[in-house]
Amino acid sequence: MPETPDNIYHVFDRMLPRADREAALKQRSHVFWLFGLSGSGKSTLALALERELFNRGLFAQVLDGDNIRSGLNKDLGFSDEDRLENIRRIGEVAKLFKDAGVITITSFICPKEELRQMAKEVVGAEDFSDVYVKASYEQCQERDPKGLYKKVQAGQVKQFTGKDSGFEEPSTPALVIDTENETIEQSVQRLLNYVLERVQA
């Protein structure tokens, strides 16, 4: 990690405290880090959760992999180094939202344990819940909501997670949502119950 240049002067200590922002929003901020294979249901769950929280008067922000890669991280590819930088940047953005009192929901493949651990360290372990959105490669291939698996079979996509590039199953995630063996309604409700316990003031 590069050292902070001498001409950088932080003002963190003079900014409005997180507790004041949370009090104004009447909620506790937290980062819910949804991860899993492409097609496992991460974005669907993240967006449904955001809507459920909004309906309850809670303020949340979704950080979705495709959206971030089309803007903030459009300069990054899918090499191991670029995946690391992708997650590092997202961790920093999620931390900024958390410090602003916002409930933050991320949706990224995040295939390796070291990436998820790095994100947790950036955000802060006490404010971070890693949520494994679980579905087999075969199930995701059958769903194929973006047509990516067809492109993989045709040899048009390289370094695809689960095929060319490995996906490491987590050992002790905060929560597992098994979208292969429960309905979307059941998955959303279980996730919502977990989140509400942690964000309601």
The pLDDT, as a whole number, for residue 143 is 82
Say whether pLDDT at 9 is over 80. Answer: no
Question: Does the pLDDT value for residue 120 go beyond 90?
Answer: yes
Structural domain contains residue 2: no
Query: How many domains would you assign to the chain?
Result: 1
pLDDT digits (tens, 9 = 90+) for 48-78: 999 999 999 999 999 997 788 888 888 988 8
Query: What's the pLDDT at 94?
Result: 97
Q: Which amino acid is at 62?
A: V
CB atoms within 10 A of CB 106: 28
pLDDT at 33 over 90: yes
In a domain, 155, yes or no: yes
pLDDT surpasses 80 at 84: yes
Q: What's the residue count for the chain?
A: 201
pLDDT of the residue at 164: 52
State residue 30's pLDDT score: 98
Per-residue pLDDT at 116 exceeds 60: yes
pLDDT of residue 138: 87
Q: What is the CATH number of the domain that holds 84?
A: 3.40.50.300
Whole domain around residue 36: which residue ranges? 16-199
Is pLDDT larger for residue 15 or for residue 122? 122
4 belongs to a structural domain: no
Tokens of 41: 């249901």
Residue range 110-131: mean pLDDT, rounded: 96
How much is the mean pLDDT over the chain? 88
Q: Comparing 104 with 10, which gets the higher pLDDT?
A: 104
As a whole number of angstroms, the distance between CA 53 and CA 134 comes to: 22
Distances (CA, A) of 186 to 43, 148, 190: 16, 26, 6
Residue 1 lies in a domain: no
Q: How far is CA 174 from CA 58, 123, 126, 167, in A?
A: 22, 15, 11, 18
CB 105 within 8 A of CB 93: no
| Segment among 23-27, 77-81, 160-164 with least mean pLDDT | 160-164
- Least trusted range by pLDDT, from 58-62, 77-81, 118-122, 192-196: 77-81
Give helix 80-99 / helix 113-123 axis angle, nearest 10°: 30
Q: Please report the pLDDT score of residue 167 as a whole number.
A: 86
CA distance 2 to 88: 13
| Residue 71 half-sphere exposure toward CB, CA atoms < 13 A | 7
Residue 106's alpha-carbon distances to 7, 9, 32, 41, 117, in angstroms, are 32, 29, 6, 12, 15
